[in-house]
Chains A and B, each alone.
Chain A
Amino acid sequence: DGGITQSPKYLFRKEGQNVTLSCEQNLNHDAMYWYRQDPGQGLRLIYYSQIVNDFQKGDIAEGYSVSREKKESFPLTVTSAQKNPTAFYLCASTPRDDKKELFFGEGSRLTVL
């Protein structure tokens, strides 16, 4: 079953702790993205990666970090420096072709207690 898998679906964290959200895809897509979704604000880009071992900051990268050691994987770490980390996080990928269609995961909901 091809697609994008995000885990965990729900995560609770205490203030001051780092947490890593997993995103794996078996679609052989080159580009991967992390978005944050807050009510009334749509999707805001955190980080994106076009190829392995390369990634760029999006519009709201502060307090987040990523790695892209494998084509299939693009984990997102929410660090303690992120001031308002409680949110819904979406991972997406797309092949580098003319269609530019994003394929999304089911999302991970992070709650900071």
Chain B
Amino acid sequence: AQRVTQPEKLLSVFKGAPVELKCNYSYSGSPELFWYVQYSRQRLQLLLRHISRESIKGFTADLNKGETSFHLKKPFAQEEDSAMYYCALYNFNKFYFGSGTKLNVKP
């Protein structure tokens, strides 16, 4: 069965510090993975997808098939990055989400 695990419920860092939000998945095939973000009082929205290999708002995520991980990274966190982050996996028309990590960037 597909499963997405985000081990940290809350991650607090200071502004300017590096940040890494962890995501591990279990899936036997070639996964399609995504990071979604929900800022305060806003809708859940797509941040980035692994297949695009893009950097959005300074965030990147690399798919590591050997470790079955898709960690989200940013070298210098900003206060506006404070939000709820969800890792998601797509398989056969269904999207599976992790439990989410709340990122709090302190001034």
Contact = CB atoms under 8 A, between A and B. Distances in A.
A92 B95 CA distance: 11
Contacts, number: 46
Contacts of A102: 36, 44, 46, 88, 95
Interface residues of B, number: 22
A17 interface: no
A92 B43 CA distance: 10
Contacts of B55: none
Given A100-B32, A100-B90, A102-B36, A43 B97 contact: yes
B57 interface: no
A58 B49 CA distance: 23
Given A45-B94, A50-B93, A99 B44 contact: no
Contact of A45 (B36, B43, B95, B100): B95
Interface of A: 31, 33, 35, 40-45, 48, 50, 56, 58, 90, 92, 99-106
25 contacts: A31-B93, A35-B97, A40-B9, A40-B99, A42-B4, A42-B86, A42-B97, A42-B99, A42-B100, A43-B97, A45-B96, A48-B94, A50-B93, A58-B94, A90-B44, A92-B95, A99-B49, A100-B32, A100-B34, A100-B90, A101-B46, A103-B45, A104-B44, A104-B45, A105-B43
